[in-house]
Amino acid sequence: MEHKKDFYSINEFAKILGVHPNTIRRSVKNGRIGSLKIGNSDRPFYRIPASEIDRIALFNMEEMIEKIIEKRMEK
């Protein structure tokens, strides 16, 4: 997938994935989504590399394929 930018804000990333920004914020803080922390203040901001979009899309595809296989094996 070709990306318009190299890095995205949490709000931009959330919009691309169609989820609430707090979902992305939690995922960044617990390490599920890779990011760069900018600033040492009480409220730093984060930038998420565009490569995370591809990684998440690939993970979701693999999960979807596993579910299809499981359903077929149940039959």
The angle subtended at Cα 2 by Cα 16 and Cα 6, nearest 5°, is: 70
Helix, strand, coil shares of the chain, percent, nearest 5, are 55, 15, 30
- What does the pLDDT average to over 59-74? 73
Report which DSSP code applies to 41: S
pLDDT, position 70: 77
**CB 3, CB 13: distance < 8 Å:** no
Q: Using a pLDDT cut of 70, give the percent of the chain over it.
A: 91
Domain range summary for the chain, segments of one domain joined by +:
7-74
Please check the confidence at residue 1 and state whether its pLDDT lies above 60: no
State pTM to two decimals. 0.71
Identify the CATH number of the domain defined by range 7-74.
Answer: 1.10.1660
Q: Using a pLDDT cut of 90, give the percent of the chain over it.
A: 43
Summarised one tens digit per residue, pLDDT across range 5-34 is 899 999 999 998 888 999 999 999 999 899
